[in-house]
Structure formats: structure tokens, C-alpha cells
């Protein structure tokens, strides 16, 4: 396993989900398009994130050299926490306004 490629793939996938979630809430036709692909917009987001993660890891594992550097792993954890916070704040503000 290439932990550097895994970390980078995780970071990109997390922010992909955050971005398409916010776009989907702001642009109704986009959310409807996501729902039309699999029956529900969250299923499409999950499937898209999984495909992105696998493809990106497969590509990066060939390009990026693995190292003992833990920054990509900390970045993945930080992105997960930050992405969750961004979505929480977005939906809280969306609800209040």
C-alpha cells in the first residue's frame, strides 16, 4: 500500500463530496441530475467518491513514491473533520436563512 497515495486520494474524495453536496443544494437541476443517475443523490455522491478514490489511488500509486511521511494521513483526517464542519455549517446556515 502506498500511504501517500491513499492520503491524497482521501483528501480529494472528501472535498469532492463536500463540493458536490453544496452545489447540489444550491443548484436544483444538478441535484436532480445526481438523483437521476442512481435513484438518490446521496447514492450517486457515494458511488462517485468511491470511483474517484479508486481511480486516483491507482494513478497516484504509480506516480507518487511512498514514504514514512505522515502528512498525507494527517491531511486526510483533517480534511474529513474540516469537510464535516463545512457541511454542518452550510446546512445550519441553509436552515436558518
pLDDT at 76 over 90: yes
d(CA 33, CA 17): 15
pLDDT at 68: 80
The domain locations on the chain are 3-96
d(CA 41, CA 34): 5
pTM value is 0.92
pLDDT in tens, 17-30: 999 999 999 999 99
Query: Which pLDDT band holds residue 97 (cuts at 50, 70, 90)?
Result: confident
Amino acid at each position: 500500500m502506498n500511504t501517500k497515495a491513499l492520503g491524497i486520494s482521501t483528501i480529494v474524495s472528501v472535498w469532492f463530496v463536500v463540493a458536490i453536496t453544496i452545489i447540489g443544494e444550491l443548484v436544483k437541476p444538478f441535484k436532480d441530475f445526481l438523483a437521476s443517475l442512481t435513484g438518490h443523490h446521496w447514492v450517486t455522491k457515494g458511488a462517485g467518491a468511491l470511483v474517484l478514490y479508486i481511480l486516483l489511488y491507482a494513478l497516484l500509486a504509480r506516480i507518487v513514491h511512498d514514504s514514512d511521511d505522515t502528512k498525507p494521513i494527517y491531511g486526510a483526517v483533517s480534511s474529513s473533520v474540516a469537510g464535516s464542519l463545512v457541511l454542518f455549517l452550510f446546512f445550519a446556515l441553509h436552515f436558518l436563512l
